[in-house]
C-alpha cells in the first residue's frame, strides 16, 4: 500500500501542471466575468425585470433539452484512456443526430414548454433557442476533445474570444430591440463561435463515422444523461414553482443576483472540472489514491471559496445598484445568500464530477433523489410563504445537503477521509460565518455604504498581512504549500 509520503514526489509537479491549466481556463473565464458585469450593467438598464424573467425561463428550458442533446459527450471524451479517431467520429455522428432532435423539440414544442412555466410570452424566445440546442452537442464534443488533448491555453483563448464577440453582438441586439429574445443573442453567438474555433483546432479528429464504433462510450453517456436530468430537476423545481407563484419578474431578480454572485463560482468550478476531469480516470480502478487527493482538493477548495464568499457577500451588495441600476434592489438583497450557496455548490459539483468520472452512478442517482425530495419541501415553503428569499435560501440548503450526502457515501467507500474533511469543513464554516457576522454587524453600525464597506475590507486585508506568519501555519495553508501551489513553497 502506497502512503501519501511515498507518492509525494510526483504531487507538486502534477498539482502545478493542473493548477496551470485551471489558471488559464479560469483566467479567461474571469476576464469573461468582468466583461459580463459590463454587459449586465448595459442590458439591465435597457430591459425590464419581466423580460429578464422570460430570458431566465428560456435558459432553464433550453438547459433541459440540451442536457439530453449533449449526452455527456464532453465528459465521455474526457475520461478516455486514449483518443481514438474512429470513436470520436462516431460521437460526431451522434452529436449531429442529437442536435437535430433537440432543435426540433425546442422549435416545434415552444408553446408547450412556455406553458409548463405558465409564461406563454416565452414561446418565441424558446423557439429562437433551437439554434443553441442544435449547436450544444457539438460544443460539448469539441471542447471536451480539446481539453482531452491537453490544449488548455488554446481552449481558454477560444472560449474567451467566442464569449466576448457574443457579448458584443448581444449588446447591439439589446440596444436595437430591448426584448427577451435580444438577450439570447449573446449566449447563442458565444457558443456557436467557440464551437467553430474548437472544431478547427481539432479538425483532424472530426468527421462522421459509424455509431457502433463508440458502443462502449455510449453506455457511460446514457448513465451520465440520466444523472444530468435528475440534477436538472433538483436545480429547477423551485424555479418553476417560484415562477408560477411569484411571477416571471421574481425569476428576473433572481437571475440578476446570480450574475454577480453564483456565476463567478460556477466559472471557477467549470475551470477546475475541465482541467482535472481527465485525471479522475486514474481512480476508476480503486480508492487508494482518491482518498488522499480528493480530500486534499475539497479541503483546499472549501477554505478558499468560503473566504471568497465572505468577502463577496460584504463587497458586492453595495455595488449591485451602482452596476445594474436602482430597479434591482430585490436582487441586491439576495446576493449574500447566493454567495455562500455558490461556494458550497462549487465544492459539491467538483466532488460530483469525480464520482461521475469513476462511473459510480448509483451514488449520483441516490444523491439526486434525496435532493429532489428536499426540493419538494422547499417548493411547499414557497407556496406557503410567497417569499423569494425562502426560494433562494433553498439553493444554499440544497448545496449543503448534496455535499454532506456525497461526503458520507464517498467516505464509506474509502474515497474520502471523512473525519479530516468534516473537521476542516466545521472549522471553515465557523470562521467564515463568524467573520461575516462581525463585518455585517460593523456595517450595520456605521451604515452599509460603499466607503464603509471598502474600509471594513481594508481592515481585514491589513490584519491578514500583519498575521501572515501565524496564518501560514494553518493546516490548509500548509496543505497548499505541500503541493507546490504557493510561491517559494515546495513539498518536503
Query: End-to-end CA distance of the chain, in Å?
Result: 21
d(CA 376, CA 61): 19
CB within 8 Å of 366: residues ≥ 6 apart: 405, 409
What pLDDT score does 16 carry? Answer: 52
d(CA 373, CA 344): 20
Q: State the pLDDT confidence band at 193, using cuts at 50, 70 and 90.
A: very high
Q: Where are the domains of the chain?
A: 10-482
Residue 156 in contact with residue 27, Cβ under 8 Å? yes
Grid coordinates in use for 55? 430570458
d(CA 86, CA 84): 6
d(CA 101, CA 103): 6
Residue 291 in contact with residue 416, Cβ under 8 Å? yes
What pLDDT score does 478 carry? Answer: 59
Q: 320 to each of 326, 442, 455, how far by Cα in Å? A: 9, 20, 18
Classify 207 in phi/psi space as left (phi over 0), alpha (psi -120 to 50) or beta: left
366 has a pLDDT exceeding 80 = yes
Q: What is the average per-residue pLDDT within 183-201?
A: 92
291 has a pLDDT exceeding 50 = yes
Grid coordinates in use for 322? 451602482
Half-sphere exposure of residue 326: CA atoms within 13 angstroms, side-chain side: 0
- Tell me which DSSP letter residue 290 carries: H
Query: 0.85 exceeded by the pTM?
Result: no
- Tell me which DSSP letter residue 261 carries: T
Q: What is the average per-residue pLDDT within 183-204?
A: 91
What pLDDT score does 184 carry? Answer: 92
Residue 306 or 68, more confident: 306
Q: Which is it for the CA torsion 28, 34, 40, 42, positive or negative?
A: negative
pLDDT in tens, 255-288: 888 888 888 888 777 777 766 766 676 666 667 7
250 has a pLDDT exceeding 80 = yes
**Length reported for the chain:** 492
pLDDT in tens, 405-464: 999 999 998 889 889 899 888 988 998 888 888 888 887 777 666 676 777 677 767 766
d(CA 255, CA 251): 6
pLDDT in tens, 165-185: 999 999 999 999 888 889 999
What pLDDT score does 230 carry? Answer: 74
Residue 166 in contact with residue 193, Cβ under 8 Å? yes
Amino acid at each position: 500500500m502506497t502512503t501519501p509520503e511515498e507518492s509525494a514526489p510526483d504531487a507538486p509537479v502534477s498539482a502545478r501542471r493542473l493548477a496551470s491549466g485551471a489558471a488559464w481556463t479560469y483566467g479567461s473565464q474571469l476576464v469573461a466575468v468582468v466583461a459580463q458585469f459590463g454587459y449586465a450593467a448595459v442590458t439591465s438598464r435597457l430591459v425590464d425585470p419581466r423580460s429578464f424573467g422570460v430570458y431566465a425561463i428560456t435558459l432553464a428550458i433550453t438547459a433541459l433539452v440540451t442536457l439530453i442533446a449533449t449526452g455527456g459527450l464532453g465528459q465521455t471524451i474526457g475520461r478516455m484512456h486514449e483518443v481514438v479517431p474512429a470513436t470520436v467520429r462516431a460521437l460526431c455522428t451522434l452529436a449531429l443526430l442529437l442536435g437535430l432532435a433537440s432543435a426540433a423539440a425546442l422549435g416545434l414544442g415552444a408553446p408547450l414548454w412556455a406553458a409548463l412555466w405558465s409564461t406563454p410570452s416565452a414561446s418565441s424566445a424558446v423557439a429562437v433557442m433551437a439554434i443553441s440546442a442544435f449547436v450544444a452537442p457539438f460544443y460539448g464534443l469539441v471542447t471536451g476533445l480539446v481539453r482531452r488533448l491537453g490544449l488548455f491555453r488554446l481552449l481558454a483563448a477560444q472560449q474567451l474570444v467566442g464569449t466576448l464577440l457574443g457579448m458584443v453582438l448581444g449588446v447591439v441586439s439589446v440596444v436595437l430591440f430591448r426584448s427577451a429574445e435580444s438577450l439570447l443573442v449573446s449566449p447563442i453567438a458565444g457558443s456557436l463561435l467557440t464551437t467553430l474555433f474548437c472544431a478547427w483546432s481539432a479538425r483532424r479528429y472530426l468527421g462522421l463515422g459509424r455509431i457502433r464504433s463508440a458502443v462502449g462510450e455510449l453506455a457511460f453517456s446514457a448513465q451520465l444523461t440520466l444523472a444530468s436530468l435528475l440534477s436538472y430537476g433538483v436545480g429547477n423545481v423551485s424555479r418553476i414553482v417560484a415562477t408560477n407563484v411569484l411571477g416571471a419578474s421574481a425569476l428576473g431578480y433572481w437571475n440578476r443576483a446570480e450574475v454577480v454572485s453564483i456565476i463567478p463560482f460556477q466559472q471557477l468550478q467549470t475551470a477546475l472540472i475541465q482541467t482535472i476531469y481527465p485525471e479522475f480516470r486514474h481512480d476508476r480502478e480503486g480508492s487508494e489514491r482518491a482518498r488522499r487527493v480528493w480530500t486534499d482538493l475539497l479541503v483546499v477548495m472549501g477554505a478558499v471559496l468560503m473566504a471568497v464568499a465572505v468577502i463577496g457577500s460584504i463587497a458586492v451588495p453595495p455595488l449591485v445598484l451602482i452596476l445594474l441600476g436602482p430597479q434591482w434592489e430585490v436582487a441586491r438583497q439576495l446576493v449574500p445568500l447566493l454567495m455562500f450557496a455558490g461556494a458550497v455548490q462549487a465544492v459539491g459539483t467538483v466532488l460530483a464530477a469525480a464520482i461521475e468520472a469513476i462511473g459510480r452512478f448509483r451514488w449520483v442517482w441516490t444523491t439526486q433523489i434525496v435532493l429532489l425530495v428536499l426540493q419538494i419541501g422547499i417548493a411547499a415553503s414557497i407556496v406557503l410563504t410567497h417569499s423569494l428569499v425562502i426560494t433562494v435560501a433553498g439553493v444554499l440548503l440544497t448545496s449543503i445537503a448534496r455535499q454532506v450526502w456525497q461526503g458520507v457515501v464517498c467516505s464509506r467507500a474509502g474515497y474520502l477521509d471523512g473525519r479530516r474533511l468534516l473537521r476542516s469543513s466545521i472549522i471553515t464554516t465557523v470562521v467564515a460565518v463568524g467573520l461575516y457576522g462581525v463585518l455585517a454587524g460593523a456595517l450595520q453600525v456605521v451604515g452599509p455604504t460603499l466607503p464603509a464597506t471598502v474600509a471594513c475590507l481594508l481592515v481585514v486585508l491589513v490584519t491578514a498581512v500583519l498575521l501572515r506568519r501565524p496564518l501560514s501555519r494553518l493546516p490548509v495553508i500548509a496543505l497548499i504549500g505541500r503541493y507546490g501551489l504557493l510561491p517559494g513553497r515546495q513539498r518536503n
